[in-house]
Amino acid sequence: MTTFLALLTIFLGISLVLILTKSDFPKLEKVIKRISFYSLIGILICSLLLVFDLRVKGKYTITIIGLTFLLSTILLFGLAKKLQTKIVSGVLTIPITIFGVLSLVWEMPIIFFYLLAMPFHPPKEKFEIDKKHNIEVRNGGFMACGESLFITESTIFILDKTKHVGNNLCATGINKIEALHFEENKIEFLIHHDGKTEFENPYTYQPEIKNMW
């Protein structure tokens, strides 16, 4: 989150300098516009895949695509000379700037940045179950009592399919997961965590999963 906010601040600052100095870089603007457009297409594709419980392989793939779109759009706002481009890029840039200024004197806007960053968060940890399946540890969000577990299966080409999401595990600081049993009739994991909750450490977790095979 700190890195995310730092990058936003840097690019908002660069964009502001470009506006104040009335800099004109038509070739750079053209390149940034293309980067913003193609990364937006990437986000839309990733969002469509999520509807079918599919994710692009790679721990940081979605993070990189999302940040590329966000930062290039902010930069485009400072570079753009055409009113239409300025308005389109401003739809994203102006609210971020307003909430950024408000966050200096009020804590509530931080929630906006948290929600903005959430889709781009990579998994905290990723452990191999077998050659075809992995289990990921992800942030559980505001209302969750602990971290979420995602069991994924390697499917087509560069895609992983989410087979199970466990949001009822109130354990935090998960640093190791061992698959004790991963069979059709029995799935059991041994979860090592920070021990800050009432769960024993390590904790035996038996999720109820349908349609795994």
* pLDDT over 60 at 213, yes or no: no
Whole-structure pTM value:
0.77
Q: Are 35 and 72 in contact (CB under 8 A)?
A: yes
Q: What is the pLDDT of residues 121-130, one digit of tens each?
A: 778 888 988 8
pLDDT tens string 148-199: 888 888 887 788 888 888 876 778 888 899 988 888 778 889 999 888 777 7
Query: Is the pLDDT reported for residue 143 higher than 70?
Result: no
Closest by CA position to 133, among listed 174, 181, 193 = 181
Please give the single-letter amino acid code of residue 174: I
Cis omega (within 30 of 0) for bond into 122: no
Torsion angles phi and psi, residue 123, rounded to 5 = -60, 145
What pLDDT score was predicted for residue 33? 93
**In this model, does residue 117 exceed pLDDT 70?**
no
pLDDT digits (tens, 9 = 90+) for 66-111: 889 889 999 999 999 888 988 989 888 888 777 777 766 666 656 6
Angle at 63 between CA 141 and CA 166, to 5 degrees: 35
Tokens of 89: 């890029």
Domain assignments of the chain as residue spans, ordered by start: 2-119, 123-205
